[in-house]
Structure 1
């Protein structure tokens, strides 16, 4: 048998998406599959897995942007990686359609499919949001937010006090969930510390707004710790708007449902997740009323009475039953804790079924909730145990340096933390990388001055 014929007889496991669940599924499959037992193919438009718990610290410069990204090619050495996006799945014929960055769409066949495409940022049809806001789901967005704030300080320092300067120093986060509060706290910490290096600016001009539609923030913690977080942010000069919604953000002019209005140069959108469009509308796999993949407790697609052969799902696009919850019918929370553990179990279950063994059900009891609120500030809750301040912040850092995959990433993150502890944050903005050809296009073109030199000399 030739190598090509041997390859054709090997089953193909197609992993749709290289995020948490997809990355860990492929990573563990590489370690558990025997030679020629099956081959693994991962399709994802990005060449890396984003370690999202580090994104708030990327905002503040406490973690280098590249250290929050785990290279797929570096760690998935025996997996075939296809840069592109799966836009349709026809499971009846074991075929998926891939849309690459360049070139026409093409079909790929498989024997077993793992759907870990992840959720997408939930957008609302609010005037100005699509044009003004930045999401906070990817490394590129976190870098852009940080650079925008640093550049705003530079621009504001050259202006006289007034409306434009106030707008440049005003930041708005929409969404009081986990990522929104962490990002808000970290960026507030950066903005406050920057004031020491800009004597031209008045600290009172720095204006941070957190807008949440519900009557509380951080639904992952109980009411008491949630109220403490609000008080902590307000003591640091932030404005927390509860029971408020953004009704307009045209040209950066933010209008809230409470009647409050203000201009904001930087608007960050963190209102939660929506169903993945491919899963919701372009697959013959079963979905629920929310557009989520219907998944059993053992991570097979389908129900207990009607499982779908050779189809598995996990992560933010899957409605995984939460067997550890007190109330029946609950689903696992779409967070990193669950996605990582689901990916690991999914790999074990696939290997088990390939070898004729029974798949295990996913049961995970929460390890608690820990959040960073800025340098040296945090909150941790496990049942009735609540830890606040520096101790919780250290717990946050300790947990995530252990949780980020690979020793290479752990060491890099520790190194940047130690460097920042000694020398402080790096406050250089590289916003020009978002348009690298601008200098090439405009250098040597001074433009027409609006103020003549003779007038300036008289002044």
Structure 2
């Protein structure tokens, strides 16, 4: 059998392998997926995980449960040598090793784009993975608990100051959902008031939500400001040493929680550790049919899709497809079909997708949707967001689990239990064990 190696188990990788499983004939090919995580993250749910509207595990789709006939390798691909068709895999434990393949599908996704801003590496947290979304939520709860026991002053103000850097969909949705959660928490903390909260959204360009037109974007800014947030446009974060934030517009403040969502960048694998062609941004150069190469030259047995691929946008006729979930899912499905067509000696088809519009959640009961000139705001857009994503999340068990959480929350509200200690699970046990050792040692001496 030929071995099809899928690098990455995100949207594009998961859907590629999932479709291949359903369509491959017995003995036609072996599918191998390499990813350090055992699940695919459904990223549109991360803002709701931050707000506690979706249970963290329900935003993760198990690879092993759903890819029943695919070989799963837990590790990270750190090098691709297509000349001899081998990849270097760095496993969770043990030495690196080589794995050969016949056909490769690069769906490694993207990483959060960072800049050399002092303090960011030490203080900030991203929002691309479930673990990060949970940590953001738990840190807010911890800050509320600590602030409630303090008198008004700089320390309390810092604890309740939240800063998001990046005004794309991920940043704005996460910011709006966390702001909504914080305002609702005030009802449970009579010691605190709205005046104690400070939420800052920092965006380097002159507008947020670049995929919507100007007026809807301006409406979102006004809505956030009406809730008490400060939106800093045309502004950069200059430093964040020890949580002291300095912005290019002259604003300075202390912030306990800093969330970095300033766009995507190609992985180091594609920029530095492969002989596959890539463009100036580090993205794999891909034809419209998802084969790696250019219009005049094709790299045999090499394919790519998703956020790590520069796929020509045939729908608009200019540039590349937008790196979002809508494209990654559909590219994964087309990639699976084209791999099958190639295995069976047929020509692959081009990827063409006309946008279904853009939609964002902006906190409980509020959202925005735009399709061409049609713009819907508020509760209806929020309901559309939930309806679309519960249909889009793969597997029926995830759909039903998410629906059940939403139904329970409708009657009983959000769950506000914090499990921050799960990030250091041995702390309580280790502390008690050390006290026991010290007591035993004292008894021995006496």
Normalising by the residue count of structure 1, what TM-score does the alignment of the two structures yield? 0.94
Give the equivalent residue in structure 1 for 2:320: 331
Give the equivalent residue in structure 2 for 1:74: 65
Q: How far does the alpha carbon of each residue in 1:287-328 deviate from its partner, in whole angstroms, 9 at most, with x for none?
A: 1111110000000000121100000000000000000014x3
Give the equivalent residue in structure 1 for 2:4: 13
Give the equivalent residue in structure 1 for 2:294: 303
Tell me if 1:188 matches 2:179: yes
Once the 2 structures are TM-superposed, how far is the Cα of residue 332 of structure 1 from its aligned partner? 0.1
**Off by >6 Å, runs of 4+ in structure 1:** none
Residues in 1 aligned to 2:266 and 2:67: alpha-carbon distance in whole angstroms: 27
Give the equivalent residue in structure 2 for 1:120: 111
Instruction: Map residues 274-289 of structure 1 onto 2, 5 A cutoff.
Output: 274-289=265-280
Instruction: Map residues 173-212 of structure 1 onto 2, 5 A cutoff.
Output: 173-212=164-203
Residues in 2 aligned to 1:210 and 1:236: alpha-carbon distance in whole angstroms: 13
Tell me if 1:368 matches 2:382: no
Once the 2 structures are TM-superposed, how far is the Cα of residue 442 of structure 1 from its aligned partner? 2.4
1:98 to 89, 96, 111: 89
Residues in 2 aligned to 1:113 and 1:185: alpha-carbon distance in whole angstroms: 39
Instruction: Map residues 56-455 of structure 1 onto 2, 5 A cutoff.
Output: 56-326=47-317, 328=318, 330-443=319-432
SS of 2:385 mapped into structure 1: helix
Q: How far does the alpha carbon of each residue in 1:414-450 deviate from its partner, in whole angstroms, 9 at most, with x for none?
A: 000001111100101100011111111224889xxxx
Pair 1:444–1:312, CA change in 2 (3 A): closer
Residues in 2 aligned to 1:361 and 1:285: alpha-carbon distance in whole angstroms: 20
Residues in 1 aligned to 2:432 and 2:156: alpha-carbon distance in whole angstroms: 26
Q: How far does the alpha carbon of each residue in 1:334-384 deviate from its partner, in whole angstroms, 9 at most, with x for none?
A: 000000000000000000111111111000000000000000000000000
Gaps of 5+ in 2: 436-446
Q: How far does the alpha carbon of each residue in 1:219-276 deviate from its partner, in whole angstroms, 9 at most, with x for none?
A: 0100000000000000011000011110010010000001100000000000001111
Residues in 2 aligned to 1:423 and 1:366: alpha-carbon distance in whole angstroms: 36
Residues in 2 aligned to 1:203 and 1:443: alpha-carbon distance in whole angstroms: 39
Q: How far does the alpha carbon of each residue in 1:19-52 deviate from its partner, in whole angstroms, 9 at most, with x for none?
A: 0000000000000100000000000000000000
Residues in 1 aligned to 2:27 and 2:218: alpha-carbon distance in whole angstroms: 56
Give the equivalent residue in structure 1 for 2:14: 23
Q: CA RMSD in A?
A: 0.9
Q: How far does the alpha carbon of each residue in 1:95-140 deviate from its partner, in whole angstroms, 9 at most, with x for none?
A: 0010001000000000000000011111111110000000000000
Residues in 2 aligned to 1:383 and 1:108: alpha-carbon distance in whole angstroms: 46
Instruction: Map residues 38-49 of structure 1 onto 2, 5 A cutoff.
Output: 38-49=29-40
Residues in 2 aligned to 1:238 and 1:290: alpha-carbon distance in whole angstroms: 33
Residues in 1 aligned to 2:115 and 2:270: alpha-carbon distance in whole angstroms: 20
Give the length in aligned residue pairs.
Answer: 435
SS of 1:305 mapped into structure 2: coil
Residues in 2 aligned to 1:116 and 1:445: alpha-carbon distance in whole angstroms: 47
Residues in 2 aligned to 1:26 and 1:442: alpha-carbon distance in whole angstroms: 45
Normalising by the residue count of structure 2, what TM-score does the alignment of the two structures yield? 0.97
Residues in 2 aligned to 1:25 and 1:274: alpha-carbon distance in whole angstroms: 22
Once the 2 structures are TM-superposed, how far is the Cα of residue 203 of structure 1 from its aligned partner? 1.6
SS of 2:206 mapped into structure 1: coil
Residues in 1 aligned to 2:128 and 2:225: alpha-carbon distance in whole angstroms: 25
Residues in 1 aligned to 2:353 and 2:405: alpha-carbon distance in whole angstroms: 32
